[in-house]
Amino acid sequence: MSNIIHTPMLSGVTDHSTTSATFVIEPLHSGYGMTLGNSLRRVLLSSIAGAAITSFRIDGVSHEFTTAEGIKEDVVEIMQNLKGIRFRVFSDEPQTLRITKKGKGAITAKDISTNADVEVVNQDHVIAHIDNDKVSIIIDIIVEKGRGYRTIDDAANKRSSDMIALDAIFSPVLRVRYKVENTRVGQMTDLDKLLLTIDTDGSITSRDAFEEAAAILVNQYTALAGQTRVEVGAPLSAGKAEAAVTAESVDEPSMLDTSIEDLNLSARTTNALINNDIHTLKDLFSLSDAELRDLKGFGSKALDEVKEKMAELEL
């Protein structure tokens, strides 16, 4: 058995909705399901770039502990509602936007006047309600990009004196769950399979969040590794690993030189192998399941027959 730690593969992605997906990573070295799952989860929840409102101003309102004339909600409620608006921002500079609304009805994120660098994701999100037809309201907001969480105290150092600061949750990832299951490749039965489910707010796809988290971890660990490099094994596939393990278990060269014709396979399977220049067990072990299926005239039934014969011969 090799002591090389093989790299895993992203073997599948299941989209549950536009904002949720499950990623299947396998096969993993024993214990690495928990190692990678926990690392990816922490980075996904804390370090993915996003955008949020960091401060705002309502015309006629001097501080947050008050009310605005003709508005159903008080300013504290409006603050909470503003924090629920999600953005895509295509600039590193803070963006100043304005909300203008007149007449009775709901004020929603759709009422935000955006520019070329800002896109509102959840336009139906309610900010407040005007309960008087004669009332108009103007709200200026500042939207910034960032990572993780920023407190009001940190934001207050950057805002102008007439703006009300907000604590900002920049992370676009709402929830991350992972589960580790056992998996096997050929005769290797102590491998892990990681199932990672990512839910986002819609400002980023689950796949983009997953790839960004992986890239962040790569950068962090590369910086710590210095000049040290560890030999990395290629990803294990079911077919190649089975072939490799089985080939190792056949110690006698004479066994590997056994002719395909001597295996007592069906005539159709035998002819298909020979026609594709596979004449011995050694030739057969050099191919993965996928490569065997791709052979001309060799299908799934023939593959099953070959596997049954190998099991019968305890190879």
- pTM for this entry: 0.69
pLDDT digits (tens, 9 = 90+) for 126-161: 999 999 888 899 999 999 999 999 988 776 556 566
- Long-range contacts for 40-43 (Cβ within 8 Å, ≥24 apart)? 40/176, 40/178, 40/196, 40/210, 40/213, 40/214, 40/217, 41/176, 41/178, 41/196, 43/213, 43/216, 43/217
Q: Which CATH superfamily is domain 238-312 in?
A: 5' to 3' exonuclease, C-terminal subdomain (1.10.150.20)
Question: What is the sign of the dihedral through the CA atoms of 257, 262, 265 and 267?
Answer: positive
Which residues in the chain show pLDDT less than 70? 1-3, 155-161, 186-187, 232-256, 313-315
pLDDT the model gives residue 6? 77
Place of tokens 């067990």: 281
- Is 238-312 the same fold as 5-48+173-225? no
Burial label, 56 (beta-carbon count in 10 A; 0-12, 13-18, 19+): buried
Does the domain spanning 49-169 belong to CATH 3.40.1160.10? no
Q: What is the largest CA-CA distance in the chain?
A: 96
Q: What is the pLDDT of residue 4?
A: 73
CA pair distance 26, 139, nearest whole angstrom: 50
Q: Which residue has the tokens 């002591």?
A: 3
pLDDT of residue 242: 41
- Cα-flanking dihedrals φ and ψ of residue 173, to 5°? -95, 120
| C-alpha distances in Å from residue 138, one per residue of 57, 65, 99 | 8, 18, 6
- Quick check: 245 and 59 in contact, CB under 8 A? no
> What is the domain partition of the chain in residue ranges?
5-48+173-225, 49-169, 238-312
User: Which class in CATH covers the domain with range 5-48+173-225?
Assistant: alpha beta
